[in-house]
């Protein structure tokens, strides 16, 4: 019922609320199933609790900025990112990670098969979550092995190559390849161009 300090990005009171609601639902279902005898009313209450649990557990998806139907569509900038990651390998020989600066929905990496440093869920360790708030972006990108950045910034403060831009209704989305994630010839050409 109580987390160790600094272990998750969720606050103590939020965690206690989630734990309390979960335990209340589980307790109610247990009482309904263990009570002697069975009636149609109990079946209805059990069904309402199950449906209520589904809506409560999935409420963030239902009220998210992007609808579930929209999440099945792949935006052109996300397709370009997928192709860019597939066509390059970093110094380890593996595709590099990506950094999505609020340009695509949160778990886009799961859909297109790339590794986003934000992860596919808001459930992350508090120290890792604080890393995004309190660390210079260029150093964080290098430390986390980021090779591609999907952002609203036309120019980055790290050596990069602009791979594409997509105008949106209020601003523009840009895709950058960071120079340290590219093969030596491309990285040198990128630095020379800047």
What is the CB neighbour count within 10 angstroms for residue 77?
Answer: 22
Q: For residue range 71-94, what is the model confidence (pLDDT) as tens digits? A: 567 788 989 999 998 887 666 677
DSSP annotation of 182: S
Residue 118 to residue 74: CA distance in whole angstroms:
18
pTM of the model: 0.59
Residue 16 to residue 10: CA distance in whole angstroms:
10
List the chain residues with pLDDT less than 50: 1, 183-194
Q: What is the pLDDT of residue 80?
A: 92
DSSP annotation of 4: P
Q: For residue range 112-144, what is the model confidence (pLDDT) as tens digits? A: 888 899 876 666 777 788 888 888 988 999 888
User: What are the structural domain ranges in the chain?
Assistant: 12-63, 73-193
Q: What is the pLDDT of residue 67?
A: 64
């Amino acid at each position: 019922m109580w987390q160790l300090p600094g272990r998750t990005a969720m606050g103590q009171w939020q965690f206690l609320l989630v734990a309390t609601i979960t335990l209340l639902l589980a307790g109610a279902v247990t009482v309904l199933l263990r009570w002697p005898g069975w009636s149609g009313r109990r079946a209805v209450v059990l069904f309402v609790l199950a449906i209520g649990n589904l809506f409560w557990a999935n409420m963030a998806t239902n009220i998210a900025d992007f609808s579930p139907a929209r999440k099945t569509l792949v935006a052109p900038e996300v397709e370009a990112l997928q192709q860019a990651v597939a066509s390059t390998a970093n110094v380890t020989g593996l595709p590099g990670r990506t950094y999505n600066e609020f340009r695509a929905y949160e778990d886009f990496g799961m859909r297109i098969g790339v590794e986003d440093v934000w992860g596919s869920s808001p459930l992350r360790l508090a120290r890792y979550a604080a890393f995004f708030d309190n660390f210079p972006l260029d150093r964080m990108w290098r430390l986390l092995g980021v090779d591609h950045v999907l952002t609203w910034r036309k120019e980055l403060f790290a050596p990069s190559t602009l791979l594409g831009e997509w105008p949106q209704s209020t601003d523009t989305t840009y895709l950058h390849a960071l120079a340290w994630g590219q093969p030596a010839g491309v990285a040198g050409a990128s630095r020379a161009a800047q």
